[in-house]
Amino acid sequence: MGTTGLSIGQVAERTGLSVHALRFYEREGILANPVRRDSGGRRVYGEDDVEWVTLCVVLRASGMPLPAIRQYTDMVRRGDGNEEERLALLRQHRERVTAQIGQLTRCLDLIGYKVGVYEDILDRGAGGHECVAPPAPENGRPV
């Protein structure tokens, strides 16, 4: 049986979390199953643990708060029979992420516009002809 068995440091390395964060997540009840320990009391992670942590990292990266991840973890831990609940939670999160992307995209438009404005100002300035009344950079009463 080729069960690997990874140390916390190795898991940290491949998930991108710090060892501190991994222990913290465990304390917070965010690991789906209790981490095994070796004879010396050190954590030994399996591939499935790594996969789970990786999922958690993705959920965090997309803005899911730890309490929600814990909820989801609890559902999974409770086992089969609550798939509707899990689905609902995932769908809700998906909508939030979609909304977030939408908002960021709108922000990006404005930022892009601003970038364009400054590019124009600089192009014009570099062109050599004096700009007597520069097109009010930010607002009408700067400084």
Given DNA, its own copies, none, residue 110, with its beta carbon under 5 to 8 Å by kind, binds its own copies
Min dist. Cβ of residue 20 to DNA (A)? 4
Query: For binding to DNA (CB under 7 A), which residues are involved?
Result: 7-10, 17-21, 23-24, 37, 39-43, 60, 65-67
Instruction: Give the integer Cα–Cα distance in Å for 39 and 123.
Output: 68
Min dist. Cβ of residue 39 to its own copies (A)? 21
How many CA within 13 A on the CB side of residue 120? 10
Rg over alpha carbons for the chain, rounded to the nearest Å, is 25
Query: Identity (one letter) of the amino acid at 41?
Result: G
Min dist. Cβ of residue 137 to its own copies (A)? 7
Q: Give me 71's structure tokens.
A: 């909820």
Outline where 79-129 has alpha helix (H): 83-126
Q: Give me 136's structure tokens.
A: 């009010």
Residues that bind its own copies (CB under 8 A): 32-33, 46, 48-49, 51-52, 55, 58-59, 61-62, 76-80, 83-84, 86-87, 90-91, 93-94, 97-98, 100-101, 103-105, 107-108, 110-112, 114-115, 118-119, 121-122, 125, 134, 137-143
